[in-house]
């Protein structure tokens, strides 16, 4: 069992919680809650895109192994692979403000 995560006294606003470096489930625990990850139900397109199934499968396989505690980690682990796949499939360039 993990030791309890003490919330620092410097956390005085909602915004401060996003600056914490602890895992999301530990912060929730410290506040008396629990965190449950659920699969997002997103709208579906009617287009026939067989490669989407493979991409979806890869992302679903990696999901339980990645704790996405911040927007940056979401971009790096889930959104970036989708963007790269779209660029390759449709022959477009991706311009980024930070290197991948």
Which mean pLDDT values do the consecutive 10-residue runs of the chain (100 residues) have? 70 75 80 85 85 89 78 77 91 78
34 touches 25 (CB < 8 A): yes
Q: What is the pLDDT of residue 35?
A: 85
Query: What is the C-alpha separation between 82 and 52, in angstroms, rounded?
Result: 9
In the prediction, which pLDDT does 65 show? 81
Residue 58's H or E segment, with its range, is helix 50-62
CA angle 85, 88, 89 (to 5 degrees): 85
CB < 8 Å & 24+ apart, contacts of 69-74: 69/22, 69/23, 69/24, 70/18
Contact 80, 100 (CB under 8 A): yes
Q: How high is the pLDDT of residue 85?
A: 92
Measured in residues, the chain has a length of 100
What is the pLDDT at residue 28? 83
């Amino acid at each position: 069992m993990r030791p309890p995560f003490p919330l620092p006294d410097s956390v005085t606003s909602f915004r401060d919680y996003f600056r914490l470096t602890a895992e999301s489930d530990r912060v929730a625990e410290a506040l008396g809650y629990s965190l449950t990850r659920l699969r997002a139900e997103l709208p579906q397109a009617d287009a026939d895109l067989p490669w989407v199934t493979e991409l979806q499968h890869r992302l679903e396989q990696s999901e339980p192994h990645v704790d996405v505690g911040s927007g940056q980690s979401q971009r790096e682990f889930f959104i970036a692979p989708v963007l790269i796949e779209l660029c390759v499939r449709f022959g477009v360039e991706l311009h980024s403000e930070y290197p991948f």
